[in-house]
A and B are shown apart, each in its own frame.
Chain A
Amino acid sequence: MIEPLLSVEGLKKYFPIRRHFLPGRVEFVKAVDGVTFQIEQGETLGLVGESGCGKTTVGKTILRFEEPTAGKVAFEGMDLLSLKGKELRRARWNLQMVFQDPFSSLDPRWTVRAILREPFLIHRRAKGNDLEKRLVDLMEIVGLTRRHLDWYPHEFSGGQRQRIAICRALALNPKLMILDEPTSALDVSVQAQILNLLKELQREFNLTYLFISHDLSVIKHMCVRVAVMYLGEIVELSPCRELFSEPGHPYTQALLSSILDPSVQRDEILLEGEIPSASAPPPGCRFHPRCRYRKESCDKDKPSLMEVGKNHFVSCFL
């Protein structure tokens, strides 16, 4: 077996919240609670889940924008979590992130040129004429032109801004891009343009994507494999096609039934209740209070991911 490009093992991220005035009594929001997955070179892994399930935090901890509480992250066999200073910066050449909201992820007071130059200057990768040439190339790759370099972010539409954000992530020729809901702030017709661009770039530069989204139809279009998250845990990990044809976990089934796609008529599975708080997750299986199939043991024993088909893992007792 070839070594995966990125391997994440038992990743945990707890955020402390102080509810109590006495020191020492700290509660935690368990945003990510033991997540394990691998991404192979050139593939797109989708990470789906609802807000607050920890999918963005997974992305951020891989890049160490957030320091994980526990777990291992290895990129090309190198342990990312032990890196410091210069080495960490060097490693980040290969790992880039595109954020959800192109309105807040670009500095409004900087021109596009300044925004795109920053990665080169920080990492001392190019300067002078080389840099200028590279910037023009980059703009053309994402479908913008040389003259746009002197514009400010507010002069662009949402779709164009997202192109600039993608451009910035591409600047240093990364191997892995973490795309955090790259199209959820955009209209459908613009979304289609950006999704096409991302696919093109992937082919051209042999990129690997971790695609974070809550929109299952977008995931289906983009991804090879999908991990479904619920309350900080992965409940199902499966090749994309199987996930949609034979979803294993009751939560996945409910998610799939809620897709509003005019071409599919599924029986609607309505989940009861709301997503519990991540600071006090339910005992046993975290999904059991909302599950249609819950049995008595579901609130006591915690299921773990088990292989139910080829490369298809489900965390459920059924």
Chain B
Amino acid sequence: MNERRVILKIQGDLKTYFFTFDGVAKAVDGVNFEIAEGETFGLVGETGCGKSVTALSVLRLVDPPGRIVSGEILFEGKDLLRMKEREMQKVRGDKIGMIFQDPMSSLNPVMTVGFQLKESIRLHKGLREKKAERLAIEMLEQVRIPDPSKVMKRFPHELSGGMQQRVMIGIALCCHPKLIIADEPTTALDVTIQAQILRLIRDLKHDFGSSMLMITHNLGLVSKYCDRVGVMYAGSLVEVCDVSEVFSEPSHPYTKGLIEAIPRVNAERETLPVIAGRIPDIINPPPGCKFHPRCKEAGPRCSEEKPRLLEAKPGHWVACVHAGLH
């Protein structure tokens, strides 16, 4: 990993807290990872585990009452958290492109597709109307939208979900970003369309030589489209490793449980193994390891000691006291 250039490095325990009336919700509570150039890093976890907030933190788009409390986000060696807002605006959409989950609510319903595409191109490339128009049409061709010059004049509601997501991808990638952040890019889509969109994102990422942070709850998707994966639970990373290893030798009990719980096509099981209990309250998380109340392997140490993410073997990081590292 060291020989390859790192494009994004989150270090020094990234913490994003939401200061609500009920208390401090620790949405992201000590996350560190890095993404190498050209790599696709998958961030998986269940609802509310903080994976989306991690992505928003990278772009500094966390709204009050949320605030990034600590950590460093190094993008191409520069700390995004120390940048002025003006500099940050140049990074967003230009060097880092974001694809959101729900295209219908992320596109502006009262602006044409063309306007929204050109907006980004004009702002970041400083191009005039005509050139921007040409570039926008080119982009729509690249995301394989049939008849792009017509689609430019359409409003988002006139397009199907798959087409809307293609437009979103077009907007996110029109400046050939170094890093693509895709937050559940296909959750709102049908399976056959999902396959088309994922293939498209992968191809374009390859063409532009970008890296990608792919956020998803679907481990199957990770297995097919990601190089490395980080598993999040209640605001922290519990395991980071190569995709092939996460399925063949998951180390953290949560990862094991998660993989076991997926219904499999080629397995005949009467009952699915489940993880007992529920995800913890992030305002008052359990002490020690946050997973210990649900963990099958929990011992007395687990409720006292907070495990850190340590390297169990080259490239495979686990946060569990039973991994034999603490």
Nearest residue, chain A, Cβ from B254: A189
Contact B263 A270 (CB under 8 A): no
- B263 near A218 with CB under 8 A, answer yes
Interface residues of A in 70-123 (CB under 8 A from B): none
Q: For residue B191, which residues in chain A have a CB less than 8 angstroms away from its CB?
A: 50, 214, 216, 255, 258-259
Docked CA distance A220–B190 (Å): 18
In this complex, which of B47, B160, B195 has the most chain A Cβ atoms within 10 angstroms of its Cβ? B195
Contact of B265 among A193, A199, A214, A264 (CB under 8 A): A264
Residue A275 is within 8 A (CB to CB) of chain B in the complex: yes
> How many Å lie between the Cα of A141 and that of B317 in the bound state?
41
Verify A259–B257 contact, CB threshold 8 A.
no
- Give residues of chain A (167-207) contacting chain B, Cβ–Cβ below 8 Å: 187-193, 195-196, 199
Which B residues, 176 to 234, have Cβ-Cβ distances below 8 Å to chain A?
A: 190-196, 199, 217-224
Question: Contacts of A218 on B, CB cut-off 8 Å?
Answer: 263
Query: Can you list, as one digit per residue, whether each of B256-292 has a CB less than 8 Å from chain A (1) or not (0)?
Result: 0111011111110111111100100000000000000
Tell whether, in the assembled complex, residue A192 and residue B267 are in contact, meaning their CB atoms are under 8 Å apart. no
Residues of A in contact with B, size category = 35 or more
- Cβ-defined contact, B264 with A217, below 8 A: yes
Chain B nearest CB from A249 CB (Å) reads: 13
Partner of A216, one of B223, B258, B265, B272: B265
User: How distant is A299 from chain B, measured CB to nearest CB, in Å?
Assistant: 19
Residues of B within 8 A of A199 (CB): 270-271
Nearest chain A CB to B206 CB, angstrom units = 16
CB distance from A183 to the nearest CB of B (A): 9
Q: Which of A188, A255, A261, A263 contacts B192 (CB 8 A)?
A: A255
- B51 smallest CB distance to A (angstroms): 12
Report chain A residues within 8 Å CB of B274: 189, 192-193, 196
Q: Measured between alpha carbons, how far is A208 from B224 in the docked complex, in Å?
A: 36
Q: How far is the CB of B196 from chain A (nearest CB, A)?
A: 6
Kindly state the separation between the CA atoms of A263 and B260 in the bound complex, as whole angstroms: 11
Q: B46 near A: Cβ within 8 Å?
A: yes
Query: Is A308 in the interface zone, CB < 8 Å from B?
Result: no
Q: Is there contact, CB below 8 Å, between A51 and B220?
A: no
The answer to whether B235 has its CB under 8 Å from any CB of chain A is no
Q: Is B307 an interface residue (CB 8 A)?
A: no
A260 close to B221 (CB less than 8 A): yes
CB-CB under 8 A from A262, the residues of chain B are 219-220, 222-224, 247, 259, 262
CB distance B263 to A263 under 8 Å? no
Tell me the minimal C-beta distance from B12 to chain A in angstroms.
30
B162 adjacent to chain A (CB < 8 Å) = yes
Mark interface residues in A224-262 (1 if CB within 8 Å of B CB, else 0).
000000000000000000001000000000110111111
Knowing A192-B274, A220-B265, A263-B267 touch, does A187 contact B46 (C-beta < 8 A)? Answer: yes
Complex CA–CA separation, A215 to B221 (angstroms): 13
Is the beta-carbon distance between A259 and B220 smaller than 8 angstroms?
A: yes
Residues of A within 8 Å of B267, CB to CB, are: 263
Residue A155, interface by CB 8 Å: no
| A199–B269 alpha-carbon span in the complex (Å) | 11
Whether the Cβ atoms of B162 and A274 lie closer than 8 Å is yes
Judge whether A271 and B196 touch: CB under 8 Å.
yes
B190 pairs with A275, CB closer than 8 A: yes
What 20 new A-B contacts, CB under 8 Å, besides A50-B192, A195-B272, A258-B191?
A50-B191, A188-B217, A188-B262, A192-B272, A196-B272, A199-B271, A214-B190, A214-B191, A215-B263, A217-B262, A221-B263, A254-B192, A257-B195, A259-B220, A260-B221, A261-B262, A261-B266, A263-B265, A268-B195, A274-B160
Residues of A within 8 A of B (CB): 50-51, 157-159, 187-193, 195-196, 199, 214-218, 220-221, 244, 254-255, 257-264, 268, 270-271, 274-275
State the B residues within 8 Å of A (CB). Answer: 46-47, 160, 162-163, 190-196, 199, 217-224, 247, 257-259, 261-267, 269-275, 278
Question: Nearest 10 A-B pairs (CB), nearest first?
Answer: A260-B220, A262-B223, A221-B263, A192-B261, A50-B190, A187-B46, A192-B272, A258-B195, A217-B263, A189-B275
5 chain-A/chain-B pairs, Cβ below 8 angstroms = A195-B263, A218-B263, A221-B269, A258-B191, A274-B193
